[in-house]
Amino acid sequence: MARIDLRRMREELLRRARSVTPEDIDRVLNRRGAIEGKFIDRGPLRRFLGDARALFSMINDYRRGRYRSLPWTTIAAAVGALLYVLSPIDVLPDFIPGLGLMDDAVVIGLCLKAIRSDLEDYLRWKRAAPVGDDA
Protein backbone atom coordinates (compact mmCIF):
# COMPACT_ATOMS: atom_id res chain seq x y z
CA MET A 1 0.00 0.00 0.00
CA ALA A 2 1.29 3.47 -0.90
CA ARG A 3 2.31 5.77 1.91
CA ILE A 4 1.43 9.46 1.87
CA ASP A 5 4.41 11.75 2.42
CA LEU A 6 3.02 14.68 4.44
CA ARG A 7 6.06 16.84 3.76
CA ARG A 8 5.63 16.34 0.04
CA MET A 9 1.91 17.10 0.28
CA ARG A 10 2.59 20.30 2.26
CA GLU A 11 5.13 21.37 -0.36
CA GLU A 12 2.63 20.65 -3.13
CA LEU A 13 -0.05 22.74 -1.41
CA LEU A 14 2.42 25.61 -0.93
CA ARG A 15 3.56 25.38 -4.54
CA ARG A 16 0.01 25.57 -5.80
CA ALA A 17 -0.94 28.36 -3.39
CA ARG A 18 2.03 30.48 -4.50
CA SER A 19 0.88 30.34 -8.11
CA VAL A 20 -2.83 31.11 -7.55
CA THR A 21 -4.19 33.97 -9.66
CA PRO A 22 -7.56 35.76 -9.74
CA GLU A 23 -8.36 33.61 -12.78
CA ASP A 24 -7.84 30.52 -10.61
CA ILE A 25 -10.42 31.87 -8.18
CA ASP A 26 -12.88 32.14 -11.06
CA ARG A 27 -11.97 28.64 -12.23
CA VAL A 28 -12.63 27.16 -8.78
CA LEU A 29 -15.94 28.98 -8.48
CA ASN A 30 -16.99 28.01 -12.02
CA ARG A 31 -16.08 24.35 -11.41
CA ARG A 32 -17.69 24.16 -7.98
CA GLY A 33 -20.08 21.41 -9.04
CA ALA A 34 -17.29 19.18 -10.34
CA ILE A 35 -15.13 19.77 -7.28
CA GLU A 36 -17.96 19.38 -4.79
CA GLY A 37 -19.00 16.18 -6.57
CA LYS A 38 -15.70 14.60 -5.57
CA PHE A 39 -16.49 15.36 -1.93
CA ILE A 40 -20.03 13.98 -2.20
CA ASP A 41 -19.27 10.83 -4.16
CA ARG A 42 -15.90 9.70 -2.87
CA GLY A 43 -14.82 8.06 0.38
CA PRO A 44 -11.91 9.96 1.93
CA LEU A 45 -13.16 13.39 0.85
CA ARG A 46 -16.72 12.90 2.09
CA ARG A 47 -15.83 13.88 5.66
CA PHE A 48 -14.67 17.29 4.37
CA LEU A 49 -17.87 18.17 2.46
CA GLY A 50 -19.01 20.80 4.98
CA ASP A 51 -15.53 22.31 5.06
CA ALA A 52 -15.40 22.41 1.26
CA ARG A 53 -18.71 24.27 1.16
CA ALA A 54 -17.36 26.75 3.71
CA LEU A 55 -14.24 27.24 1.56
CA PHE A 56 -16.37 27.89 -1.53
CA SER A 57 -18.49 30.39 0.38
CA MET A 58 -15.41 32.19 1.73
CA ILE A 59 -13.77 32.31 -1.71
CA ASN A 60 -16.99 33.57 -3.30
CA ASP A 61 -17.48 36.30 -0.70
CA TYR A 62 -13.84 37.31 -1.11
CA ARG A 63 -14.14 37.43 -4.91
CA ARG A 64 -17.29 39.53 -4.75
CA GLY A 65 -15.66 41.94 -2.31
CA ARG A 66 -18.08 41.12 0.50
CA TYR A 67 -15.41 39.79 2.84
CA ARG A 68 -11.81 40.96 2.65
CA SER A 69 -10.74 40.54 6.29
CA LEU A 70 -8.22 37.83 5.57
CA PRO A 71 -4.82 37.56 3.97
CA TRP A 72 -4.35 36.63 0.32
CA THR A 73 -2.40 33.58 1.50
CA THR A 74 -5.59 32.14 3.01
CA ILE A 75 -7.52 32.52 -0.24
CA ALA A 76 -4.55 31.18 -2.20
CA ALA A 77 -4.28 28.11 0.05
CA ALA A 78 -8.02 27.40 -0.24
CA VAL A 79 -8.04 27.86 -4.02
CA GLY A 80 -4.84 25.83 -4.40
CA ALA A 81 -6.27 22.96 -2.35
CA LEU A 82 -9.54 22.92 -4.30
CA LEU A 83 -7.66 23.02 -7.61
CA TYR A 84 -5.63 20.06 -6.37
CA VAL A 85 -8.87 18.14 -5.78
CA LEU A 86 -10.10 19.11 -9.25
CA SER A 87 -6.99 17.76 -10.95
CA PRO A 88 -7.20 14.02 -11.74
CA ILE A 89 -3.42 13.82 -12.09
CA ASP A 90 -1.59 14.69 -8.89
CA VAL A 91 0.71 12.94 -6.42
CA LEU A 92 -1.61 9.90 -6.37
CA PRO A 93 -3.70 9.99 -9.57
CA ASP A 94 -7.44 9.84 -8.82
CA PHE A 95 -7.98 6.76 -10.97
CA ILE A 96 -5.98 4.51 -8.59
CA PRO A 97 -8.70 2.53 -6.74
CA GLY A 98 -8.71 3.06 -3.00
CA LEU A 99 -5.77 5.47 -3.02
CA GLY A 100 -6.40 8.08 -5.67
CA LEU A 101 -8.30 10.46 -3.43
CA MET A 102 -6.29 9.94 -0.25
CA ASP A 103 -3.79 12.62 -1.26
CA ASP A 104 -6.67 14.98 -2.09
CA ALA A 105 -8.05 14.46 1.44
CA VAL A 106 -4.60 15.07 2.93
CA VAL A 107 -4.20 18.33 0.98
CA ILE A 108 -7.64 19.54 2.11
CA GLY A 109 -6.81 18.60 5.71
CA LEU A 110 -3.48 20.43 5.56
CA CYS A 111 -5.17 23.49 4.07
CA LEU A 112 -7.87 23.51 6.76
CA LYS A 113 -5.26 23.21 9.48
CA ALA A 114 -3.29 26.12 8.02
CA ILE A 115 -6.25 28.48 7.59
CA ARG A 116 -8.53 27.29 10.42
CA SER A 117 -8.46 30.59 12.33
CA ASP A 118 -9.27 32.69 9.24
CA LEU A 119 -12.02 30.26 8.20
CA GLU A 120 -13.57 30.37 11.67
CA ASP A 121 -13.47 34.19 11.63
CA TYR A 122 -15.16 34.14 8.22
CA LEU A 123 -17.87 31.74 9.40
CA ARG A 124 -18.59 33.96 12.44
CA TRP A 125 -18.90 36.94 10.09
CA LYS A 126 -21.14 34.91 7.76
CA ARG A 127 -23.49 33.90 10.59
CA ALA A 128 -23.78 37.55 11.64
CA ALA A 129 -24.38 38.81 8.07
CA PRO A 130 -27.90 39.94 7.14
CA VAL A 131 -30.13 37.06 5.94
CA GLY A 132 -30.51 38.40 2.37
CA ASP A 133 -26.73 38.57 1.91
CA ASP A 134 -26.17 34.84 1.25
CA ALA A 135 -23.50 33.73 -1.25
| pLDDT, tens digit, 9 for 90 and up, residues 49-62 | 999 999 999 999 99
Residue 32 lies in a domain: yes
- Residue ranges making up the domain that contains 19: 6-128
Q: Mean per-residue pLDDT for 82-90?
A: 81
Q: What total of structural domains would you count in the chain? A: 1
**Cβ(91)–Cβ(36) below 8 Å:** no
Residue 92 lies in a domain: yes
Q: What is the mean pLDDT of the chain?
A: 86
pLDDT beyond 60 at 41:
yes
Q: Mean per-residue pLDDT for 53-72?
A: 97
Q: Helical H runs in 32-101?
A: 32-41, 43-46, 49-63, 72-86
Residue 1 lies in a domain: no
Distance CA 123, CA 128 (A): 9
Residue 82 lies in a domain: yes
Residue 45 lies in a domain: yes
Residue 16 lies in a domain: yes
Residue 133 lies in a domain: no
pLDDT category of residue 129 using cuts at 50, 70 and 90: confident
Residue 135 lies in a domain: no
Q: What is the pTM of this model?
A: 0.85
Hey, is 124 helix, strand or coil? helix
